[in-house]
Structure formats: structure tokens, C-alpha cells
A and B are shown apart, each in its own frame.
Chain A
């Protein structure tokens, strides 16, 4: 697609439920990143996928968080047993290094845990 697509744009869930957030990167971009942004805060790195390499999971805050990227394209971020502190905007970005396109972000998923 022309841009990075994220779905859903908004998600309200009850504490303790699992949620899945989806990111569809720009076609041909080999790198995909997940960040989250809490209200009024900067961006917190979560996980990074590059091609077929093992992902860099160093930013995942707990083992309730996991992500996968199937076929080198679409990525799903899963949060199990959601907690209120998980409420944030989850942003996905993709890039293709070696080109002067840098990072392109999706519009994010606003997750609210009630």
C-alpha cells in the first residue's frame, strides 16, 4: 500500500482480556518497528523486525507482550491479560534502509484498558 496501515484505529478492552493489533507495512519495506506512546510522553521502543533475522525484542515491557511478522510483511502485536497501564497509542513504522525514505509511521492504534 501507499502507507503503513494499522488496525483497529481504536480499541477499548476490559482488563484481563487479550488484544491483537495489526500493522501492514509499506510494500517492500524490510524493517518493521513497534513503538508505544503513553499520554503526553515520548515514544517507547517495543520490538524490531528486519527481514528474516530474529527480531529485537529488547523493548517489550513484559512477557504479556509478543509480536510476530508473517511472511516478512504483516505484523501482529499481541498483549495478553491486559492491564490498565497498557493503555497507550501503539505505533507501527516501516522502513527500507539504503533509501532516503527513512521511517514511515502508521496512524496508530489507541488502546484503552478499562
Chain B
């Protein structure tokens, strides 16, 4: 299957700071998504981004498919951004990375 590596595995931020999360994948994919799993376990779809750049409020994402990586940018972080961020890539099924655990402290 496709290998998905996320970095960093853990991240602690002061509220208001910016951060960049990275996702590397081992093969060509036709789908890539970023998810946020909140402290209650709910997985929320942030971006469907097989290529290019998208922005939604304080979050943006860029995928460079030819170089097999994607970046998730979080600006002006808030405590509600805490949780685990997963990157998932698809051939036929989705392959998930092991996530980046983000803690934003006030």
C-alpha cells in the first residue's frame, strides 16, 4: 500500500502562533484529504486537495502531487485547533498517516 508519513508527530503552540504540518506519501495518488480529529473523536474533513492550494479561514493547504507532499498551514492558532490532524491519500482505499497531535495552549 501507499506509505503516508506526517511530521511533526507532536506539536505544542502558544495561542496565536502559526504552524505548518507536513504529509509525505510514497506513490501517485488521485485524492488527498486533511482531517482534524477533535478531542471528542470526531473526524472533520478540512480539505479535499489532490493538488494545488486551498484556503478556508485561518487554514490553508497546498499539495504538490509531482513531489508527493502536502502541507497544512494553521495561522493565528486557537485552543479549539487542538486535536490530531490526519492526512489521508487514496488509490482505491484511503491510507492514513499516523497524525500530528497539536496542543494549543492559552
Real binding pair:
yes
A103 pairs with B96, CB closer than 8 A: no
Contacts A43-B86, A43-B96, A45-B93 given: A102-B43 contact, CB under 8 Å? no
Q: How many A-B residue pairs have CB under 8 A?
A: 48
Tell me whether B88 is interfacial, beta carbon within 8 Å. yes
Chain B residues within 8 Å of A, Cβ to Cβ = 31, 33, 35, 41-43, 45, 48, 86, 88, 92-99
Provide 30 A-B residue pairs closer than 8 Å at the C-beta atoms, listed in order of the A residue. Answer: A33-B93, A35-B96, A37-B41, A42-B97, A42-B98, A42-B99, A43-B86, A43-B96, A45-B95, A45-B96, A48-B92, A48-B93, A56-B92, A56-B93, A59-B93, A89-B41, A91-B43, A93-B43, A100-B48, A101-B48, A102-B31, A102-B33, A103-B33, A103-B35, A103-B45, A103-B88, A103-B94, A104-B45, A107-B41, A108-B41
Chain A residues within 8 Å of B, Cβ to Cβ = 33, 35, 37, 42-43, 45, 48, 56, 59, 89, 91, 93, 97, 100-105, 107-108, 110
